[in-house]
Chain A
Amino acid sequence: MVSPIYLIVIPLAVAFFISFFDRLGRGLSLTLFYAGLIALTAISGSWLLSTVTGIIGSEGAIGGQLSQAAGTLVFTAGLEPPLSIALAMGPQEAFFLFFANLAGLGAAVVLGRRMAAESVTAMVLFLMVMLGAQGLVMTLDLFNLFVFLEISSIATYSLIALERSRGSMSAGFKYIIAGGIASALFLIGTIYLYRIAGSLAIADIIAAQPAAAGMAGVTAVFLLTAALLIELKPFPANGWALDVYQSVQSGVVSVIAVVNSAAVLFALYKVFPMLPAPLTNALLWIGITTFFASNLIGLRQSSVKRMLGYSSSAQIGLLISVLALSAMYGWSGRLQVIVFASIFFGHIFSKAGLFWLTEVQEERGWKGWSGPRAAGGVLLLAVFIAALAGLPPFPTFWAKWVLVKSIILQQPLVVAMLLLGSLCEAVYLLRWFGRTVHLRRTAAASWNTPARIALPAAAAAILLTVGGVIAGLAADVEPLMFLPLAAGLVLGLLVWLPSRLQGFIAAALVTAAGALFIPQMQGMASVFALVFYGGGLLMLIATLYKRQDSPGFYPLFAALVLSLGSLIQATGLLEFFLAWEIMTFSSYFLILLGREAEKPALNYATFSVGGAFVLMSGMALMAAVLPPEIFQGSLIAAQVSAEPLLAAAPGIIGQGRDVFAVAPNGFLGGLAFTLIAIGFLTKIGAAGLHIWLPDAYAEANDDVTPLLSAVLSKAGIFGLMLFVLLFPAALFSWFNLPFVLRWVGVLTAFFGTLMAVFEEDIKRVFAYSSMGQLGYIVLAVGLLNQLGWTTALYLTVIHLLFKGMLFLTATAVIDRTGTRQMYRMGGLIKNMPISFISALIAIIALSGVPPLAGFGGKWLLYNALTANNYVLLAAVAFFSSTIAFLYLFRFIYTVFLGQLKIEHRRVREAPAALLLPQVVFILALMAVSMFPNLLIQPLQSALAMFPADAGWQNGTMVSSIGYWNGSAVMWITMSVFILMLLWLLFVQRKPQPVSQFNIVFAAERPERPETTHYGYNFFAPYRKALGFLVTPLAGRFWHRIAEVTGSIGGAARRIYTGNGQTYALHILLFVTILYFLIAR
């Protein structure tokens, strides 16, 4: 094992000799430079390997006390401290150093061209920065800490100033001011501490407990902490750092933001044990405020680099608060590893990667940042942004989950700030990403990623992914849960294949997964599994109609479908949430593939991420308030161990159990369930939370929307039903949640349906229609009895059938006519007869007209409602269901009937790939219509946990108040229909087939199809009468919220004046105020 001393020696030596070698040739010096950096990385890597395996070897599993367990101590010059520099190398040090060095190495590669072009000083300074970082991490001595801090600082601002631009000079100077203040404070603090402890060794000082030694000790510790804190750029004393981030080249920034910050953070970590409790507490709040405020301000940033700077600042703040939290609650071992290490790891690589990627276009604001040309570059960008935003499978995701779960009861405010800050961060990152994708598509100048950037960035991305998966596995997540991601990855690697072939592979994957998992399911779970896998597969087949390639489409599609399956597979809250998040982001990226989808996708992401955070906090709270015997062990242990109740989830569903007999858990349980319900309702698009829905559905690609509506939207329903079964007691423990749920459901149905009536865009019509239909399902779920839940499941299945048909028809029509405006179509029945039949059957089913299966849903719903005296609900639901006629007729009339436009004469029938799933849906629908018991009886038996409230007699379904024989209705209707048809055929002489203008037109002849087709604003009188109901109140509300958030961010940003004096003042004020707060 190489002695850690070489980590100090190598950079020193290389820095010393490099200028000599430079005389001999730049090639030589560059070789030496990179060799030195590689050596640093290799040494720290070998230490990481050995310490970690040492721990594993010694204790068998990660989980013991990590510090110094398998490390080593090194004393320079062979002397004991204080005469020598004492260096420690343990697993933590190795971890920090290895990844910091790796990031540094990457940065050096990225900066390669500059290193080659500029004077050798740059290399020297770079090495000195690295040297400072090594020292900061390893040293055990306070004074040495100071020395390395100084080395690091001086090297850094020299490096900054080396750019010789006005901005960088000024930034370097601001850095010097801040650094100077920090150094002064540090030195004073050190002096005091030496006075108290009589030693400069950190361990001695900690042992001396300076904080307990009166005010002087506290002050000393405070000064020390404040110095380190300033270096870590807390809000609001971080203006100087942001200027640095903005004005310095990205490669250098990546070093400052990643290597330096990591080292200083580690230094803070080392002195943490000597901190008094109030200071720890203060650090928690400083950290989380920095996180929240920086992200809030980040919303208003236009410069990409400055935006990333805010993000860096925020992440460091988060790390500080995590340090404080782990000190406050005495976290150690796995918890600390998962939370702190994961955030740290995720932060350095995602941030470094982003800074590297921005290097080429660093002067642009995000609005003009057109992104890499190669698809791989976009993928890298996506990985870094996802990692930073805390999406799975990246490390931050696990960390946030565990963090929230651990502190939700103790520190709800911190959780709130954490989640809100994360939401802001996700919004501005995804906004940037969306714009990039959009600009790239609209053929604005995008750039090639040079290999010197692409290689390190790719390495970072791989590291992030691997690290994330490892972290996930460490959190005891079943490997199976990574299946969607793996499938996406595999298909992503096959991106060079022809698009159709990819589609077939994806279909094969989904089929295999379905064939494998569906038989394992039972009860309700199998219903949803059938919907998810079966519906997903059919939608996947439908996408094969596309003629042009769309890279990334099938990987995302497959990941999305499989993640829906994973939702059912999940055996723990974390696994459920993992699948949920995979579903969310894969659908976000899918939506983003749409041509005009930049804004809608952002809206979708905002609501989805927000909803997911609400869901997460609800789940965390739920896990926290459940009785300990259900979640074995302490709260802290609960986050990683598999929750036993949830482990049985798929089993519970389908097995008889009186689910509402559990005692209530009080307010917190109710609150938790409410949060969970809000999370699901966001996905469902319940009234008020729906504003993302129409745009996202409309602007997503035409082959994605059917999946979103017919399949994806059921995820929320599944979640809702699952959690009702899991935590039934929480339903009533705060307020009557089912009551609210029912009304939310019926109002969603009403407003969704009504809004659909007034839309011109075919996809928006069905988007609102989906919203309305899901409203009925939510209403049915809220009934909490067997008939109600049968209704919910029945509607879930039927909605898949008819909405799948409708959206596929819409896709076909849009594909063939090239427009989404219904009034521009018309008369397509003769050109697209099969699509027409599909649409016809679908609208009959959707509207609930017998004899098709849609009526079953209506019958079940009204029976369930009326039997329980929910008369108002029934009335509103009925009103909504009649309103549905309006948009349905309007759709089928305006598109298929009426006047064919001249330019649509050559329109052909939909492609076979689109028709095939429709035919399957039609057959399924007709089968269910002929024999309703085929579907309803299995559903009823799946819901055996409820007391049975409807039975069957010879094919007649009998509820407590009504009865219905679907087969008989079908037979009677068919017979009458055929009789009447025969009669007409008998009495009528052969009718003359005529053309579209052979109409009675008040004795005139129609002029043009456009002026003869009554299609635009079809329900004008209805709008006059009820249009006031669709005033976009919810939209305005959310828009106002976004505006206010943005203005607060903008206002907060004003404190950063760009003036060095002001920044110095900020720092001093920050320290002073902090001091008074602590000392009080």
Chain B
Amino acid sequence: METSLVLKIAYAALSLFIAFNYGILLGATTYRIRARVQGRLGIRLYQPYLDIIKNNAKRTSISHGIMFYLGPIFRITGGVGTFLFIPMIYGSVVFSNFSFAGDVLLVLYFIFFGQLGMALGAGEGGHPYSAIGVSRGLAQMTAFEVPFTLAIIALAVQHNTLSITEIIAAQQGGILNWSLFTNPAATAAALIAFLGMNMGNPFSVVTAPQEIPIGPPVEYHSNYLGLLQTNRSIFNSAKLILFMNLFFGGATNLIVMIIKTFLIYMITVIIGVAFPRFRVEQSIRFFLVVPTLIGLVGLVIALW
């Protein structure tokens, strides 16, 4: 059943649109939830849209150079690309995106595309805080990738495939087939890594607003910032969908997807509001010890 290229692109655009809006509403919702926990009302649900419009409506902007200009574009290409390489809904032609282009390894490495481009753009901004932020971000990234990789390798070995679609397929047929239950250790390791990946508390030292304004994007503003905000929602969706696909059995329709990703996201939200912030070397040590050990257990489970 070959879908024509035009149709494929149209489908991908549709799922991208859904992911973008979902990501934005998810962000606003969690903000409101967090505000309610603190006894506030919080932002309006459509506030992120306003912010994006506002930033795009800024009349002036500056450019430190070509790389600075291209940085956000790299970033959003990374985000959109990552999303496009992940099938959103299992078994759906419409929401399978461009997952034919590669397996989970591709997704794993494509995540770096945007980060690298962003880091380069921020670097040309010439602001030392950008560099400090990138330094922290990269350092922390190397650490949380270890448990994450262990988890993914465990899954690959367990299901004998690196294809995301096949990993979802292997988890069908009941909740107990989910990787969450077939390999809880790998799932746990990956979820801890996910906290680091989202750079929320306790791993938020990268953007540390109090110390180094907001880290890498300190020089970004106006339309650049608008792009970055757009990317954040898409990328967030992409990561959530990836985790859902790998560990929580994927989704066969949009509603299941929304419920599952929302719940996954709540994990980071809850941990984020409950914990203070690690220093970089602390989080590196943490990632290389606790989740890594859990990940190794996951490997043992997978091989056994």
Contact = CB atoms under 8 A, between A and B. Distances in A.
B113 to A, nearest CB: 5
A1039 to B, nearest CB: 29
Interface string A868-896: 01011011001100110110011011000
Contact of A885 (B101, B141, B149): B141
Contact of B156 (A866, A969, A997): A866
A885 B284 contact: no
Given A886-B139, A889-B119, A892-B120, A874 B153 contact: yes
A545 B280 CA distance: 43
Contact of A1021 (B65, B106, B116, B284): B284
A94 B123 CA distance: 76
Contacts of B106: 850, 855, 859, 964, 969
Interface string B80-115: 110011000000000000101111111001101100
Given A879-B145, A988-B61, A1012-B128, A973 B113 contact: yes
Given A885-B138, A984-B73, A858 B105 contact: yes
B285 interface: yes
Given A980-B80, A991-B63, A882 B142 contact: yes
Contacts of A1020: 135
B123 A883 contact: no
Interface stretch (A611-619, A774-782, A955-963): A955-963
Given A879-B146, A999-B125, A1022-B139, A897 B67 contact: yes
Contacts of B161: 961-962
Nearest to B123: A897
A844 B125 CA distance: 20
Contacts, number: 247
Contacts of B281: 1021-1022, 1024-1025
Interface in A1015-1033: 1015, 1018-1022, 1024-1026
A996 interface: yes
A883 B302 CA distance: 26
B71 to A, nearest CB: 10
Interface residues of A, number: 77
B123 A999 contact: no
Contact of A999 (B59, B112, B127): B127
A854 to B, nearest CB: 9
A1 interface: no
Nearest to B231: A980
Contacts of A882: 141-142, 145-146
Nearest to A954: B100
Interface residues of B, number: 83
B131 interface: yes
B126 interface: yes
Interface string B122-165: 01111110011011101101110110011001101100111100
B139 A1019 contact: yes
A605 B56 CA distance: 61
B157 A866 contact: yes
A993 B157 contact: no
Nearest to A754: B142
A955 to B, nearest CB: 10
Contact of A963 (B125, B163, B213, B303): B163
Contact of A849 (B104, B116, B131): B116
A850 B102 contact: yes
B246 interface: no
A829 interface: yes
A1021 B73 contact: no
A976 B73 CA distance: 9
Interface string A800-841: 000000000000000000000000000101100000100010
Interface in A316-373: none
Given A961-B160, A980-B77, A984-B72, A972 B103 contact: no
Max chain B C-beta neighbours (<10 A), residue from A830, A886, A961? A961
A963 B102 contact: yes
Given A980-B80, A1000-B218, A965 B102 contact: yes
B123 A893 contact: yes
B285 A1025 contact: yes
B45 interface: no
A501 B178 CA distance: 69
A751 to B, nearest CB: 14
A872 B62 CA distance: 47
Interface in A890-938: 890, 892-893, 897-899
B301 to A, nearest CB: 11
Contact of B81 (A858, A973, A984, A1015): A973
Contacts of B153: 866, 871, 874-875, 878
A998 B62 CA distance: 9
B60 interface: yes
B63 A962 contact: no
A988 B62 contact: no
B284 A1022 contact: yes
A794 B69 CA distance: 34
Contacts of B162: 862-863, 866, 961-963
Contacts of A1001: 127
A897 B103 contact: no
A981 interface: yes
Contacts of A829: 65-67, 124
Contact of B62 (A963, A977, A994): A994
A859 B101 CA distance: 13
Interface in A386-416: none
Given A855-B109, A866-B153, A965-B101, A1014 B142 contact: no
Contacts of A24: none
Interface in B226-243: 226-227
A897 B101 contact: no
A977 B145 contact: no
B222 interface: yes
Nearest to A1002: B213
Given A977-B73, A991-B63, A1021-B139, A897 B120 contact: yes
Contacts of A885: 112, 116, 138, 141-142
Interface in A837-867: 840, 843-844, 847-851, 855, 858-859, 862-863, 866
Interface string B266-282: 00000000000001111
Given A965-B101, A1000-B213, A1026-B284, A878 B149 contact: yes
Max chain A C-beta neighbours (<10 A), residue from B134, B154, B219? B134
What 10 pairs between A and B have smallest CB-CB spacing?
A962-B162, A897-B123, A1021-B280, A1025-B281, A1025-B284, A1014-B131, A1014-B128, A962-B103, A991-B63, A968-B101
Interface of A: 827, 829-830, 836, 840, 843-844, 847-851, 855, 858-859, 862-863, 866, 869, 871-872, 874-875, 878-879, 882-883, 885-886, 889-890, 892-893, 897-899, 956, 961-965, 968-969, 972-973, 976-977, 980-981, 983-984, 987-989, 991-994, 996-1001, 1012-1015, 1018-1022, 1024-1026
21 contacts: A829-B65, A875-B153, A879-B142, A885-B138, A885-B141, A886-B138, A893-B131, A961-B103, A961-B162, A968-B98, A968-B101, A972-B85, A980-B80, A984-B73, A987-B226, A991-B60, A993-B62, A1013-B126, A1021-B284, A1024-B280, A1026-B288
Given A961-B163, A1012-B126, A1025-B282, 20 more contacts: A849-B110, A858-B109, A869-B157, A875-B146, A875-B299, A882-B145, A883-B142, A897-B67, A961-B103, A962-B105, A963-B100, A965-B101, A976-B81, A976-B84, A980-B77, A983-B227, A989-B61, A996-B64, A998-B64, A1018-B131
